[in-house]
Structure 1
Amino acid sequence: MTYKNRPFSGEAFSNDLEAAVLQNVKDQLQARFGAIRHPETGEFPTVVVNGRSLDDMRLTIEGSPALLSIVRERMDLQEQQATTFLPSETKTPKAFLSYSFDDRDLAEIIARRLVAEGIETWWAEWEISAGDSLRRKIDEGLGNCTHFIVLLTPNAMKKPWVQQEMDAGLVRKIAGQARFIPLRHGLAAQDLPPLLSGVLSPEVDQSQLDDDLRDLVNDIHGVSRKPPLGAGPTKLSAPVTGYSKTATAIAEIFVRETKQAMFGDPIKDVTELAETIDVSEDDIDDALHELRDLASVSLGRVLVEAALYSEFDKYFMEWVPETDAIRIAADLINDPTMPTDTAQVATRYGWEPRRMNPALAYLLARNLIVDYRVLSHDFISSRVAKTDDTRRFVKSRS
């Protein structure tokens, strides 16, 4: 009796069966949670499933805070406790600026300052062209904004159009879709409508306009006005990676010594690591338990996965694998001339295998490229081909 053209081995058959079941469960989890979509933004989450056995399986879900909140609602308590939620970087804020035409000059100063400070700004004179439908263009601006800003002056308070836009802005505020920011100019706080009496309404004053607009920009970007925390006593410290110092030190050794950032490159003895880091072997064992998704131990020797480099390169190298991976994914979707041969992709970017492989590991872990993993190759995947998840991933981060 043979199995895979070799004499039948119950252990090999059992291992393959367990691996197939494990992969099936991972695929189901990625399909289930990867299909959840934010109803307003259209964003899909990125789902990463780690673990070498069903008993050790862990789920990580990445996305905007709003999307992660929706994902949590679809989970039971046990699933939530077994999942790590990682908020993605905040997208570019989008402001809708409502104003009276009588205050056009000041409104333009505000709009230009916001744009110069990295805030996409809907301002009527930029967005509405001859022949456009006013209502449709305004609805588009309101529907996409993360911050509704209304310039409130004695003139604006008399304009029905400004009042209608404020109503729409308040609706988005109540729905949790946008922040509502009333900017006062020449108007006392006590003169605001009762509905706005409980909303902080900063004032913009011509005599200190630059400072007032700087505060507005900082508020939109979420920059605290609290003074920065002073430095504590000087001490040597490892990068803040979310892992222990010993685990981080182990990762740094592999990151700095690997030639191609592939599995088993390099291989280190537990004893050697303990001596190099100056800790006990028990400390090394504990640290490797932390790194169990990224490293394994066999006969006292430590072998790391390519995923370790996608996790730790950003702390010790000049590149960030996640950023590289996003660049590859975006080009796969948007550039019809993008090659699929991995070597050609690396040449396109001017990257050696040492830099390319961590980006590939990041993409493979998230099912963002087809798995063409091969042995005896400079790259962990011989081809770079997009999946349906690639499109959703890029769209959610554009």
Structure 2
Amino acid sequence: MKKVATATKNMNSAMSSANRASSPSSAKSYLSTAERESKNIDSAQDKSARYSADIASKMSDLSRAQEHVLKGEEDERKKTSDLYEKQRKADEAARKRLTDDNRALSKDLASLRAQLTAAISTQASSTQPFVVENAEGRETPYDFFISHAWKDKEDFVNGLVSAAKEAGLDVWDDQSAIVWGDSIRQKIDDGLRRSFFGVVVLSPNFFERPWTQYELDGIVQRDLSGAGRLLPIWHRLTQDDVAAKAPSLAGRLALPTSTYSTAQIVDELLEMRDRFKAVAR
């Protein structure tokens, strides 16, 4: 625009000079200058028009680019929102499945405990009274003889014995009953003879040791003769494992440590003691 203004000024000045020229040659020279400045004005105006058109085109391109960016951002927000909603629904469905599974598991456990209680009641009602000798130096027999492998003490048996004693159960276990110099065989026989029940913690370790086999034989013999009861606990074993090692025990109702906590096993032992001691003489 500055060039147009300058050229216009020069053109007007040349036209004015041409009008005042004293000779035709001078007037012609001024007119030539005015024509040249007129062409400069036209050229500058053309350039200005092209610049304006170019600016308008670039502004249009910029506007489209901005719209594209905004649309991309909106699409990204929508995509993120959709992914979030999809994940939220998936998480909600997973929580519902977990809740349903836990509820079903609780029902299964409750059903299993009910079956066990019913089986205990049935067995107790049909059991012939059995005789157990009083423990040496005591007025009453032990409630339970705990047969187990030494390797299972730390991860299960010690906790079971401790919890059972705290609950008021009278338990024979090797650590408290056998001292230095005792005959292990005699002590085991004495413990079996003076206990109402033989609790056998069957495990992979149990079937590897000769003393546990000896205890199991004694408990089974007393169970068959009616002088005691065998109560199996499965520790890190399945029914198939028990069937492979001791087929005669696989069909007995047992408490697996995979399903029952130590506290729940102690509760079952308390109920067993109370039911069966009522029929003992």
Fold shared, TM-score > 0.5 on shorter chain: no
Report the TM-score, using the length of structure 1 for normalisation: 0.32
Considering only CA atoms, is the larger Rg found in Structure 1 or Structure 2?
2
TM-score (ref. length: structure 2): 0.45
